[in-house]
Structure 1
Amino acid sequence: MKKWSIVSVLLALFLILSACSTEKDSGTAKSAGSSGGKIKIGLAISTQNNPFFVTLKEGAQAAADKAGAELIVLDAQDDTAKQISNVEDLIEQKVNVILINPTDSDAVVTAVESANKANIPVITVDRAANGGKVVSHIASDNVKGGQMAGDYILELLGGKGNITELQGIAGTSAARDRGDGFHKAVDNKDGVKVVASQPADFDRAKGLTVMENILQSNSDIQAVFAHNDEMALGALQALDSFGKKDVIVVGFDATDDAVKAVNEGKLAGTIAQKPKLIGEKAVETAIKVANGETVESSIPVELELIKKQ
């Protein structure tokens, strides 16, 4: 009788431990959405000193609020080391998904790999990462946009003239791709020459300074393509100070200031990249990923040439 009592106790303990183990396993298998918890999304953004990325963040926040998700935004202030630290911070906060808008497509690989090791899905936004595992990339086709800008400049020039290119931050996919598209349009065209290509880091003040330096060494310029509107607006200031108001300037992003300049006839055009929509799609995609859904590896956002009607 005593022997059977011991067996019964051992059997009961085995069943209890098995039940606890099963409950634990099923709990870890649940996605953030199915477990009933609030989805927490991290957004490691390159800068909030650029109107484009301010609008992108606003679009992301609106989508998160609508879905009842929590969005944690950390600004790298265009500092690569700070962005890597920001991603580590988001990992520590145990977010469900990390959205990264890289300051540098090569340097950000370290941050992406850190998130990979922590089993946190990564989605890149506007700019790509050159390594690590990324679930999805959400951006406009920057090569196509650069080519649109180049074709438009050729049309306005009538196929003849000298062009200056103001490049974005070296190492970013946006700068590389916009430049590639632009050169596809204008290189090897008779009567057209790119006389200067210099970085101004997507910054208005640097766009002004770089354009002034270019004009001091070569004032024979008929058109300017800037990789973003901030540099384009800086170039306009420089050209105005040199009395060259007839130079064609085309930007990229369609920020409010740029669109206003287009309507006033100061800026010849800008490529609309729709940052609000990019931010919205990024959060919507992150929520799908957090809920265990499959998403496309690349999600494009349409472009549009904005010019004075």
Structure 2
Amino acid sequence: MRNPALVIAGAALALGLTACGSAGPSGSNNASGSPGGANVKIGMTLSTLNNPYFVQLRDGAQAEAQKAGATLTVTDAQNDASQQVNQVQNFASQAMKAIILNPVDSDAAAPAAKAAQRANIPVIAADRGVNGVEVAQTVASDNVTGGKLAAQELAELLGHKGQVVVLQGVAGTSAARDRGQGFTEGIKAFPNIQVVAQQPADFDRTKGLDVMTNLLQSNPGIDGVFAENDEMALGAIKALGAKAGKEVKVVGFDGTPDGLKAVKAGTMNASVAQQPTLLGQQAVAAAVKAARGEKIDKTVAVPVKVATTENVDEFKID
């Protein structure tokens, strides 16, 4: 088995030293705008498109590219950090004017981001930050605040007492780290609530089901669940069965269509709703400005809001 760190470092070095690469990333799709913006070519690599949240982010990006008259090429890294480095390398060889990077791993993405910058290609980090690199802009939800809101909502649902478990996202991503940090800080305000277990389920619904099933065997008396995204929460709901939303309160994160439907149905009690479409739009708008040499803010925080059974109709569910 090859060492992923060596693969990533080698690919990043190749990006810094070569001006040509493969013909183009497989599985990509383009959104082209008006002829006036044909010279603004943007590459976007998403950690995965096997998640409704990132599909919404892509759709927002494509809509903004069409509006701005830019050409956007989107690739799916399939949660493979090495594959994502190769995609960034391909973007550089295609003379992209800017790259939007939604990291599979916030640490592993650093060499690729640095190499792109050495090639004078500005990098916009979307939804997740890139550790150890000062990119042109990081546009993301305020995940720490979102984690705190999740803790407060779950505490209210439990009457400020009980035992809870936490389903964690992909280790190494800033989203998982920040949401976990916010929840940990927020739940400290409620000393009668005990976090009895925390385990990664990698932002995946099937893994959320499996992990929750195992946690229930070792912690049969839990009162609440915080899942760091809606996909894991939906898996947990399936594992909980009739207890979901009633005997065991469930709070997710993202506000995806399926998550909001579960909130409306009462099996998920709340979700910290992000705005992935807006996030995608803002990432492309920043990329266009950076490509033209315009000044942009280093960070943009997209607001989050808690969706509950009382206000879920205010959110877009389709």
Bigger mean CA offset, 207-216 vs 37-46 = 37-46
How many angstroms apart in 2 are the aligned matches of 1:198 and 1:187?
A: 19
* Structure ID, larger Rg: 1
CA deviation string 1:101-120 (max 9, x = no partner): 00000000011011012110
Amino acid at match of 1:108: A
CA drift at 1:85: 0.7
Which residue of the partner structure matches residue 9 of structure 1?
none
CA drift at 1:175: 0.2
Decide whether the 8 Å contact of 1:146 with 1:181 is kept in 2. Answer: yes
Aligned-partner SS, 1:102? coil
How many angstroms apart in 1 are the aligned matches of 2:117 and 2:214?
A: 44
Amino acid at match of 1:289: A
Aligned residues: 275
Which residue of the partner structure matches residue 154 of structure 1?
155
Aligned-partner SS, 1:82? helix
The alpha-carbon distance between structure 1 residues 287 and 241, as it changes in their structure 2 partners (threshold 3 A), is same
CA drift at 1:280: 0.3
CA drift at 1:133: 3.2
Q: Considering only aligned residues, what root-mean-square deviation do their CA atoms show, in Å?
A: 1.5
How many angstroms apart in 2 are the aligned matches of 1:140 and 1:103?
A: 16
- Structure 1: 5+ residue stretches without partners: 1-34
Decide whether the 8 Å contact of 2:237 with 2:244 is kept in 1. Answer: no
Which residue of the partner structure matches residue 270 of structure 1?
271
CA drift at 1:99: 0.3
1:112-151 maps to which residues of 2 (within 5 A)?
112-151=113-152
Is 2:108 the partner of 1:81? no
Bigger mean CA offset, 178-187 vs 242-251 = 242-251
Which residue of the partner structure matches residue 197 of structure 1?
198
CA drift at 1:189: 2.9
Amino acid at match of 2:258: D
Amino acid at match of 1:254: G
How much identity, in percent, do the aligned residues show? 51
Aligned-partner SS, 1:134? coil
CA drift at 1:284: 0.7
Amino acid at match of 2:47: S
Which residue of the partner structure matches residue 67 of structure 1?
68
- Structure 2: 5+ residue stretches without partners: 1-35, 311-318
CA drift at 1:81: 0.6
How many angstroms apart in 1 are the aligned matches of 2:94 and 2:297?
A: 26
Aligned-partner SS, 1:196? strand
Decide whether the 8 Å contact of 2:44 with 2:99 is kept in 1. Answer: yes
Which residue of the partner structure matches residue 226 of structure 1?
227
CA drift at 1:234: 0.2
Bigger mean CA offset, 236-245 vs 187-196 = 236-245
1:247-258 maps to which residues of 2 (within 5 A)?
247-258=248-259
Amino acid at match of 1:38: N
- Structure 1 residue ranges, 4+ long, deviating more than 4 angstroms after superposition: 241-245
The alpha-carbon distance between structure 1 residues 154 and 242, as it changes in their structure 2 partners (threshold 3 A), is closer
Amino acid at match of 2:249: I
Which residue of the partner structure matches residue 213 of structure 1?
214
How many angstroms apart in 2 are the aligned matches of 1:217 and 1:121?
A: 48
Decide whether the 8 Å contact of 1:122 with 1:133 is kept in 2. Answer: no
Is 2:110 the partner of 1:109? yes
Length-normalised TM-score, structure 2 = 0.84
How many angstroms apart in 1 are the aligned matches of 2:262 and 2:274?
A: 17
